[in-house]
Amino acid sequence: MKDTWTPMAIGGSLLCVIVAMLLDGSSPTVLIKPAPLLLVFGGTFFAATAGYMKSDLKGIRPTLLRATKGDAYDMELAIHEMSRLAGIAKNSGIIALDKETHNIDDPFLRRGIELAVDGTNSEEILDVLENDIASTEARHRMGAKLFADMGGFAPTLGIVGTVIGLVHVLGNLSDPQALGPGIGSAFTATLWGVLSANVMWIPISNKLKRASAIEVQIKHMEIEGLLAIQNGASSRFVRTRMESFLAPQSRGRAEEKGAAA
């Protein structure tokens, strides 16, 4: 299941801007000006990425896809999956989980199961998986920071575009009839700078931070469940231990969703 709410919400915000312009008697076509668009979007991208290594830029597209139409993280289904694995291990032994690794899509969980099946002790499993989480958090922070940086640069580039436009207007004061349209056109860059920062880049950055927090929480839940399975815990205990990460009102829904999966 994909989480597409972010692009829908961004589209809704842009629609509100367009409707507001129409209600105000203006035309949204005034926003379609190549020079401000090039300066704000192109300038913002290059200014923001100037502070990163070239190798870092390879992750921009996957990061953007993750923010706009990435997988929806489901804690309840994660609890159900770990509870299921605990039942198998309790009835047939932890070695039986080796056959289940081929059906697990999550590389993090699959790695943990493989370590447990190989007889790795709990401390070493915890160390390996915690390092994996730390690496994931660092990668996610970089992606979120990039879009936060774009949100910071965009208004500034918009002001630069406005200044450029005003310099052009002031250089043609001999034509009074052109002053109004020229000034209006100059401020289009500022509008795009503020609009793109607050409707696109900052929300995307916030989405990446939230997605990272949820993913990391699920990984910690899976570690707790995995260590409990390794110690021979029942599926009920594993469920109870993992549900302690959830808000009280969500714990009942976890079992219902797991039963429906």
Q: 164: burial class by Cβ within 10 Å (0-12, 13-18, 19+)?
A: middle
- Is residue 110 assigned to a domain? no
Q: Which amino acid is at 95?
A: I
- Look at residue 169 in the predicted model and tell me its pLDDT: 84
| Residue 77 Cα distances to 48, 149, 169, 253, angstroms | 37, 34, 60, 10
- Is residue 117 assigned to a domain? no
- Look at residue 261 in the predicted model and tell me its pLDDT: 47
- Look at residue 70 in the predicted model and tell me its pLDDT: 80
Asked if residue 163 lies in contact with residue 39, where contact means CB atoms within 8 angstroms, the answer is no
- Look at residue 160 in the predicted model and tell me its pLDDT: 96
C-alpha dihedral (93, 98, 100, 101), degrees to nearest 10: 140
Q: What is the chain's pLDDT, residue by residue, as a tens digit (261 residues)?
A: 688 899 999 999 999 999 999 999 988 988 999 999 999 999 999 999 999 999 998 888 889 888 888 877 888 889 999 999 999 999 999 999 999 988 888 999 999 999 999 999 999 999 999 999 999 999 999 999 999 999 999 999 999 999 998 988 887 777 777 677 778 788 999 999 999 999 999 999 999 999 999 999 999 999 999 999 999 999 999 999 998 888 776 666 555 554 444
Percent of the chain with pLDDT over 70: 94
Q: Which residue has the tokens 């699920």?
A: 218
| Residue 60 Cα distances to 53, 199, 204, 255, angstroms | 12, 19, 12, 37
* Euclidean distance between CA atoms 163 and 177, whole angstroms: 20
- Look at residue 256 in the predicted model and tell me its pLDDT: 56
For 129-181, write each residue's pLDDT tens digit: 999 999 999 999 999 999 999 999 999 999 999 999 898 888 777 777 767 77
* Euclidean distance between CA atoms 129 and 136, whole angstroms: 11
- Is residue 108 assigned to a domain? no
Q: What's the structural domain count of the chain? A: 1
Q: 65: which 2 tokens?
A: 């896809």
Task: Tell me the pTM.
Answer: 0.88
* Alpha helix (H) residue ranges in 70-106: 75-92
Would you put residue 72 in left (φ > 0), alpha (ψ -120 to 50) or beta? Answer: beta
- Is residue 95 assigned to a domain? no
Residue range of the domain that includes 187: 5-75+125-260
- Look at residue 72 in the predicted model and tell me its pLDDT: 77
- Is residue 43 assigned to a domain? yes
- Look at residue 179 in the predicted model and tell me its pLDDT: 75
- Look at residue 113 in the predicted model and tell me its pLDDT: 95
- Is residue 84 assigned to a domain? no
* Alpha helix (H) residue ranges in the chain: 5-23, 34-37, 43-49, 60-69, 75-92, 107-117, 122-170, 179-196, 202-230, 235-243, 248-260
- Look at residue 182 in the predicted model and tell me its pLDDT: 75
Q: Which amino acid is at 4?
A: T
- Look at residue 251 in the predicted model and tell me its pLDDT: 65
Distance of CA 221 to the CA centre of its chain: 20
Asked if residue 47 lies in contact with residue 146, where contact means CB atoms within 8 angstroms, the answer is no
- Give just the sign of the alpha carbon dihedral 79, 3, 1, 107: negative
DSSP letter for 2, please. B
- Is residue 194 assigned to a domain? yes
- Is residue 56 assigned to a domain? yes
